[in-house]
Amino acid sequence: MNAPSTTIVPFPETVPANAVRHALRGFPERMVIGLLERMPLGGLRLEHADGRVRHFGAVGSPVSARVKIHDDTEFFKRCAFYGNIGMGEAYTDGIWDTDDIAAVISWFIVNMTALQGADTASDKLPGVNLLKVVNWFRHLKRSNTVDTSRRNIAEHYDLGNEFYGLWLDRTMTYSSARFSSPDQPLEDAQTAKYDALCRKLKLSATDHVLEIGCGWGGFSSHAAKHYGCRITAVTI
């Protein structure tokens, strides 16, 4: 009786780990560049940390901006996975800079507005669906349970008055102000907002206002002082 034969099947060669790392490292950049290439209005000059330069849109356009990247890996990772918030935080962390931040913001606003109004909706842009998945996962990790709510509240409200005092006016109001001119002081613009709200509500001494989420009480103080109404203010 013949002995059974044995066939040795070689195990497939694995992809080198460094090749996988390289592909993953380049993915955020490809995703962000793909999105920028869909923005035809104005002009954006993107300067990489290694000296490479990319141009998007029309060079010499009235709406033009320049972005200088100091750390490509971190810049594209933050933009790809955290969107406009990631790009903003990367700017404050010195990962990229520009000689005109207003121009950069204007360029993005013009292009995103145009794309959302065209046949190509914003949710069909390269990478946006992935961003939705990433954001969904991040929110899932911070679901509004009792424990995570306590943590979320602490991260926002426990920063202390000293922090908010660095960039707010004396009213310590951190919602948007109402500016009548570009050089109007922040405190004046906040007061203008308060007064516009009071007039819109037609407040008088016979009214009782409940303000939920009053912060440091800037609006409540203004309404009570100038319109004589009764105020009940609630905050965390």
Does pLDDT of 128 surpass 80? no
Alpha carbon distance 65, 57 (integer Å)? 11
Give the whole-angstrom CA distance, residue 230 versus residue 228. Answer: 7
Summarize pLDDT for 76-111 with one digit per residue, the tens.
998 888 888 888 899 999 999 999 999 999 988 888
C-alpha separations of 171 from 32, 152, 231 in Å: 40, 24, 17
Q: From CA 216, how far away is CA 220, in angstroms rounded?
A: 9
Degrees, nearest 5: CA angle 7-13-17: 155
Q: Over the stretch 164-200, which tens digit does the pLDDT of each residue have?
A: 889 999 999 989 999 999 899 999 999 999 999 999 9
What global pTM score does this model have? 0.52
CA angle, 218 then 223 then 225, to 5°? 95
